[in-house]
Amino acid sequence: MSIRFFHTPKNKKFNFSPRYYDEQKEELEKRVEQIKKEMGVSDDDPNKPYVSSIRKGQMRGYLKKTSKQKRQSTGRLIIILLVLALTAYFLLYF
């Protein structure tokens, strides 16, 4: 039994041949599915009305959260800088 340190195994080959593939038909089906999802139409009930997933005032809360987060991070940064400045002052002058 020999030990090989730099041996790399050969790639495995598979013999798979598809029966039939129509690229244009696949692309058409994908586009139709995407448009149906955007329009909110399902295959089981084509008469169902479209209902948007975006709610009124959905972005207002997002903007408020980001400004609050900015204030908190700025406050944390100031506190960290003060602690570092005090530590440097005590190390250098005492």
Burial 19-56 (b: 16+ CB within 10 A, else e): eeeeeeeeeeeeeeeeeeeeeeeeeeeeeeeeeeeeee
Flag whether 41 is in a domain. yes
Q: Which long-range contacts (CB under 8 A, 24 or more apart) does 58-67 make?
A: none
Identify the pLDDT of residue 11: 85
Domain that holds residue 76: 23-93
10 within some domain? no
**What's the domain count of the chain?**
1
Using CA atoms of 43, 35, 33, 47 in order, give the dihedral in degrees to the nearest 10: 0
pLDDT digits (tens, 9 = 90+) for 60-86: 666 666 677 888 899 999 999 999 999
Mean pLDDT of the chain: 81
